[in-house]
Amino acid sequence: MQQRHIGPFEVSAIGLGCMNLSHAYGAPPAPEVGMALIHRALDLGCNLFDTAALYGFGANETLVGQALKAHRRHITLCSKGGMAGVSFADGVKRVIDGRPETIRKNCEDSLQRLGTDVIDLYYLHRWDKKVPIEDSVGAMSDLVRAGKVRTLGLSEVSASTLRKAHAVHPIAALQTEYSLWTRNPEIAVLQACQELGVSFVAFSPVARGFLCGELQDVAHLANNDIRRAMPRFAPDTYASNLPMLQAYVQIAQEVGCTPAQLALAWLLHKDPHLVPIPGTQNIQHLQDNMAAVDVRLSEQQMQRLESLINERTVKGNRYNPQNAAEVDTEEFA
Ligand SMILES: NC(=O)c1ccc[n+]([C@@H]2O[C@H](COP(=O)([O-])OP(=O)(O)OC[C@H]3O[C@@H](n4cnc5c(N)ncnc54)[C@H](OP(=O)(O)O)[C@@H]3O)[C@@H](O)[C@H]2O)c1
């Protein structure tokens, strides 16, 4: 597997997003199936694993920690705090809370669930706009000094928030949604990352399934599938974006790769400091995704892809108004 860099870490050019093994896209697989998938990723040369306190309200960190325990020294383990499940009288709910005391508690809980003494890359999952970013990142920098985390990251923040945070403590990575159909990072954060020497971790790099070509009918998504709350996955909007896929799949055929590999190869060609972290529950898809490091695209193919799928041709917002208000990213109107 080709390697790239995040802060001091040499990581596989494609990492594994583990969220899907406990949360998000319908029923999660049984834990032993998730463990087997993580082990297959290791066999394929993947050494970058992404989880969060939020995923499965802790279950994902427990799974990832168990699966990687014997391999801990050979991998880069990434988790996130500042957005987690909190118990209320009517059940556990997702809460964004970036207060220093919460970040300290989130990190302790994550270390325990992961079964490790230190997290390699610890992200602030969302900037809590009620708390100055300097205060949240200040608390995270205390975690570095205490040896509980090695490096810091942010998720879904603007270029200006990244700069403010970076002035408090060096930020190793910014994680944000980026794919052919979500081009917002091109407005400002990719440039800011380049200037500051911050690596970019692209989440939802295969467009939550859209760019894989297999998801044709969103009406059958499970009731608890988070895509049901996303405007682009509303049945009419999704159907109106599907025709673009015909020309896209044709480019994949010309290149000699699968549609998912094309999406990942496009990202890898965009920026040498970028690492995509696709997620999957399916071993065949995992193998497909990891092999995308070997796909080569010409400048002309890159341009054809970019003029086919971009912020003007894709219909529908990526987030509903509530989730859009929770992020701090520059967005195409
Ligand atoms: N920081 C944040 O706020 C944030 C937000 C979202 C996600 N993330 C991270 O990013 C990771 C990846 O993002 P994501 O899961 O949202 O989106 P994604 O990786 O773009 O897409 C995942 C979806 O695509 C399908 N898929 C993946 N590879 C495929 C292939 N080769 N062929 C066909 N279908 C394929 C998966 O279904 P199958 O299971 O059937 O393969 C799944 O439904 C997550 O696991 C998480 O770690 C971070």
Return the CATH superfamily for domain 3-326.
NADP-dependent oxidoreductase domain (3.20.20.100)
DSSP string, 70-134: GGGGGSEEEEEESEEEEEETTEEEEEE---HHHHHHHHHHHHHHHT-S-EEEEEESS--TTS-HH
What stretches in the chain show pLDDT beneath 70? none
CA of 152 to the centre of ligand 1 (A): 23
| Catalytic annotation, pick one of 25, 55, 122, 238 | 55
The Å distance, Cα 17 to ligand 1 centre, comes to 7
Query: Which two three-digit tokens encode residue 250?
Result: 């044709």
138, 168 in Cβ contact below 8 A?
A: yes
Decide if 1 contacts 14 (C-beta within 8 A).
yes
**Residue 233 C-alpha to ligand 1 middle, in angstroms?**
14
| DSSP three-state, residue 178 | coil
Residue matched to tokens 């049901």: 228
Q: Are 19 and 52 in contact (CB under 8 A)?
A: yes
Residue 55 is among the residues annotated as catalytic for this protein: yes
CA-closest residue to ligand 1 atom 30 = 285
Model confidence pLDDT, tens digit, residues 147-202: 999 999 999 999 999 999 999 999 999 999 999 999 999 999 999 999 999 999 99
- 60: its two tokens: 């994902």
> What does the pLDDT read at residue 332?
87
Token pair listed for 159 = 């270029």
Q: Which of 21, 285, 326 for a ligand 1 pocket mutation test, highest count of atoms within 8 Å of Cβ?
A: 285
**Are 173 and 192 a contacting pair, CB within 8 Å?**
no
Domain locations along the chain: 3-326
